[in-house]
């Protein structure tokens, strides 16, 4: 019985691949990929032409010539069935997304602070294991999943939706439809987060990594997600662009992927070892198919936009997208190297993890070549500083991920603090930093108010930048030492524990720096929304840009 089902499933898989190849060939034949280069120019037009860095919020100097800086004409994509956006569409679009985006971003920042506090408590408990032990809800085994869940489903998911909404409407050049549904979704999402967090701390945790909340919390979050999707896809139906920019692919795909991930994994059909393989399929995909696409979508928009230079190779961005879509979701099984699942499952995970080198190198090359020669902008612009930091971390974390999935590497680092360093390099140094950068660009456009202080932005950048740097270095070093000690059966286990203590202290210190940075950021967001501080008519850039003309017009 089992073998006949296996054969059926394998045939479905093969049919699926055949269909995918057929669709690719068909779309190529129908010209879906023609004039690829022109796609990179769709984010520029007369108001925001190629060659003009777009960090200026208020300084609206019309560019000389006004021919759009060599923007290819719309006919590059063949006859268009979509209406032209009217002049001044950016202001309309920003008005339409203002409250949904602010609601999501505000909630996200709240959960970032909550998650940081959980993180700090959990980290200091390694250094002082007899601290705060009287109450069950403050025990390490509850604070740690509370940290993970609040930063993933509270901070990064909600800020991703906020940033994604803004990008979505701006790239489709049309106002948000059903913004009210998104507000309802935001309220529901927060309700889910509160129920989940309190439930987890109160003793209803499930110990299934990355889905520790009680199930009801996810049901509420899925409902919120689907409400958002109504708004997203109704807006897409009213698009006023013919070509869908690469950021739209990433966001659109992740909006479809994530509910599928949540629903399929919450089905009560797994137990034992298959539960573990499903668990890591899910958990790795929340990273790869939800957080990563949102952050890459932002990087693909902000790097070209702030430098004023189209993406180096739009061809590469297409390859990068499809290889990510086809490879990333198979990689999760590398979390089970050396474990009890069938070897073919683990090997498949390793093979696809290594194949991830292709999309990563492609994206890295593309971003690097877009930015090369414009490093002065990176220093001057808050947005670009954070986004480029994130994009560089994406390259490092992914290359590291590909290599460390190999059995020889896993033998040392699996089960150690090294893994924690790796996950923070991805979720924090990559995804979170890009989201910070995106918010520095987006919020002033929504509130009509510039950031209060470039000094505080700089403090935020250096605190979190140095914090995450020290964090990753310390836990990587500590994890490798711990791993080699554990491989030697003559080292007593308590000596292995001893070898990690110094690094765990450094982790607590760097976590404190990052948390300080988050409070500064939260203050800046608060001040921006309530329009605190001096009124500016120029962007809040870092001092370098004020001393010299940033770019010649």
Partner 1 sequence: MTRSVILFVGVIAAVLMSYTGLSLLPGLQLFDIEATPGTTDYTFEEARGREVYIRDGCIYCHTQQIRPENFGADIARGWAPRPTKAGDYIHDDPHLLGTSRTGPDLSDIASRQPSWDWHMAHFYNPRAVSPGSVMPAYPFYFDVIEPGAVLASQRTVPLPAEFAPPDGKVVVAKEDVENLYAYLMALRVEPLDAAE
What part of residues 446-485 is at the interface with partner 1 (CB under 8 A)?
Answer: none
402 binds partner 1 (CB under 8 A): no
* Window 492-511: residues binding partner 1 (CB under 8 A): 493-494, 497-498, 500-501, 504
Residue from 63, 198, 215, 270 that binds partner 1 (CB under 8 A)?
A: 270
CB 440, min distance to partner 1, A: 29
- The structure tokens 């490092």 sit at 396
CB 67, min distance to partner 1, A: 24
Structure-token pair, residue 421 = 């360093």
* Window 300-319: residues binding partner 1 (CB under 8 A): 318
Distance CA 517, CA 521 (A): 6
Helix pair angle (292-307, 433-447), 10° resolution: 60
The answer to whether 386 and 461 are in contact (CB under 8 A) is yes
Tell me, rounded to whole angstroms, the distance of Cα 189 from its chain centroid: 18
Q: Which of 257, 141, 293, 150 is nearest to 210 (CA)?
A: 150
Residue from 325, 350, 397, 474 that binds partner 1 (CB under 8 A)?
A: 325
Please provide the DSSP assignment of 470-520 as one string: HHHHHHHHHHHHHHHHHH-TTS-HHHHHHHHHHHHHHHHHHHHHHHHHHHH
Return the number of the residue (288 or 467) whose C-beta is nearest partner 1: 288
CB 383, min distance to partner 1, A: 26
CB 269, min distance to partner 1, A: 7
CB 333, min distance to partner 1, A: 6
CB 466, min distance to partner 1, A: 25
> Which of these ranges, 2-10, 48-56, 372-380, 466-474, lies near partner 1 under the rule CB under 8 A?
2-10
If one counts every other C-beta atom within 10 angstroms of the C-beta of residue 3, the result is: 7
339 binds partner 1 (CB under 8 A): yes
* Window 56-115: residues binding partner 1 (CB under 8 A): 77
Return the number of the residue (24 or 403) whose C-beta is nearest partner 1: 24
The answer to whether 383 and 430 are in contact (CB under 8 A) is no
Question: Residue 101: helix, strand or coil by DSSP?
Answer: helix
Residue from 342, 373, 532, 543 that binds partner 1 (CB under 8 A)?
A: 342
* Window 200-239: residues binding partner 1 (CB under 8 A): 203-209, 236
CB 471, min distance to partner 1, A: 17
Tell me, rounded to whole angstroms, the distance of Cα 359 from its chain centroid: 16
- The structure tokens 């019985």 sit at 1
> Which of these ranges, 88-96, 163-171, 272-280, 372-380, lies near partner 1 under the rule CB under 8 A?
272-280
Q: Which of 58, 153, 86 is nearest to 447 (CA)?
A: 58
Distance CA 196, CA 103 (A): 20
Q: Which of 379, 453, 390 is nearest to 425 (CA)?
A: 390
> Which of these ranges, 66-74, 92-100, 414-422, 517-525, lies near partner 1 under the rule CB under 8 A?
414-422
Name residues whose C-beta falls within 8 Å of residue 445's C-beta, 6 or more positions apart in sequence: 57, 94
Tell me the CB-side half-sphere exposure of residue 439, using CA atoms within 13 A.
28
Q: By rule CB under 8 A, what string of x and - marks binding of each residue 120-159 to partner 1?
A: -----xx--xx--xxxx--xxxx-xx--------------
Residue from 252, 308, 359, 437 that binds partner 1 (CB under 8 A)?
A: 252
> Which of these ranges, 19-27, 294-302, 449-457, 531-539, lies near partner 1 under the rule CB under 8 A?
19-27
CB 26, min distance to partner 1, A: 8
Residue from 216, 372, 403, 487 that binds partner 1 (CB under 8 A)?
A: 487
Q: Which of 292, 303, 220 is nearest to 253 (CA)?
A: 292
CB 318, min distance to partner 1, A: 8
27 binds partner 1 (CB under 8 A): yes
Q: What is the DSSP letter of 531?
A: T
> Residue 346: in which H helix or E strand, if any?
helix 343-355
Total residues in contact with partner 1, by rule CB under 8 A: 104
257 binds partner 1 (CB under 8 A): yes
Q: Which of 441, 463, 439, 438 is nearest to 514 (CA)?
A: 463
> Which of these ranges, 15-23, 388-396, 424-432, 441-449, lies near partner 1 under the rule CB under 8 A?
15-23
Return the number of the residue (66 or 338) whose C-beta is nearest partner 1: 338
330 binds partner 1 (CB under 8 A): yes
Q: Distance from first CA to last CA of the chain, Å, rounded?
A: 71
369 binds partner 1 (CB under 8 A): no
């Amino acid at each position: 019985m089992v073998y006949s089902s296996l054969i059926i499933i394998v045939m479905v898989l093969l049919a699926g691949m055949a269909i995918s190849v057929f669709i690719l060939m068909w779309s190529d034949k129908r010209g879906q990929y023609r004039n690829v280069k022109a796609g990179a120019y769709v984010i520029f037009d007369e108001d925001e032409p190629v060659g003009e860095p777009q960090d200026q919020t208020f300084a609206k100097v019309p560019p000389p010539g006004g021919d759009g800086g060599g923007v290819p004409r719309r006919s590059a994509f063949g006859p268009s069935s979509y209406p032209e956006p009217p002049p001044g569409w950016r202001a309309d679009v920003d008005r339409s997304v203002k409250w949904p985006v602010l609601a999501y971003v505000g909630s996200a920042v709240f959960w970032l602070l909550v998650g940081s506090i959980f993180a700090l408590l959990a980290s200091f408990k390694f250094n002082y294991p007899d601290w705060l032990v009287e109450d069950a809800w403050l025990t390490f085994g509850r604070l740690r999943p509370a940290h993970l869940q609040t930063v993933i489903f509270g901070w990064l998911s909600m800020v991703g939706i906020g940033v994604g909404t803004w990008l979505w409407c701006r790239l489709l050049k049309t106002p948000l439809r059903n913004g009210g549904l998104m507000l309802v979704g935001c309220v529901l999402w927060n309700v889910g987060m509160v129920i989940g967090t309190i439930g987890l701390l109160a003793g209803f945790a499930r110990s299934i990594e990355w889905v520790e909340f009680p199930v009801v919390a996810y049901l509420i979050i899925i409902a919120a997600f689907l409400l958002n999707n109504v708004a997203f896809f109704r807006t897409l139906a009213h698009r006023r662009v013919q070509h869908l920019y690469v950021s739209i692919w990433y966001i659109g795909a992740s909006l479809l992927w994530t509910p599928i991930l949540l629903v399929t994994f919450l089905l009560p059909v797994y137990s034992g070892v298959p539960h573990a393989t499903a668990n890591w399929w899910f958990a790795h995909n929340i990273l790869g198919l939800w957080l990563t696409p949102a952050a890459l979508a932002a990087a693909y928009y902000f790097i070209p936009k702030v430098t004023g230079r189209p993406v180096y190779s739009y061809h590469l961005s297409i390859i990068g997208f499809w290889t990510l879509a086809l490879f990333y979701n198979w990689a999760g099984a590398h979390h089970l190297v050396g474990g009890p699942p069938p070897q073919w499952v683990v090997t498949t995970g390793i093979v696809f993890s290594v194949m991830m080198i292709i999309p990563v190198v492609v994206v890295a090359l593309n971003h690097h070549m877009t930015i090369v020669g414009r490093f002065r902008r990176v220093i001057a612009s808050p947005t670009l500083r954070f986004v480029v930091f994130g994009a560089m971390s994406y390259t490092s974390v992914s290359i590291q991920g590909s290599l460390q999935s190999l059995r020889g590497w896993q033998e040392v680092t699996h089960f150690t603090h090294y893994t924690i360093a790796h996950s923070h390099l991805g979720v924090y140094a990559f995804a979170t930093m890009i989201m910070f950068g995106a918010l520095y660009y987006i919020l002033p456009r929504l509130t009509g108010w510039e950031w209060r202080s470039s000094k505080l932005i700089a403090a935020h950048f250096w605190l979190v930048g140095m914090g995450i740097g020290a964090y990753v270095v310390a836990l990587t070093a500590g994890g490798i030492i711990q791993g080699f000690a554990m491989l030697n059966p003559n080292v007593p286990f308590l000596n292995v524990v001893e070898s990690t203590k110094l690094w765990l202290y450094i982790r607590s210190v760097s976590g404190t720096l990052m948390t300080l940075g988050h409070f500064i950021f939260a203050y800046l967001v608060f001040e921006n929304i309530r329009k605190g501080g001096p009124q500016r008519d120029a962007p809040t850039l870092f001092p370098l840009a004020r001393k010299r003309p940033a770019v010649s017009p």
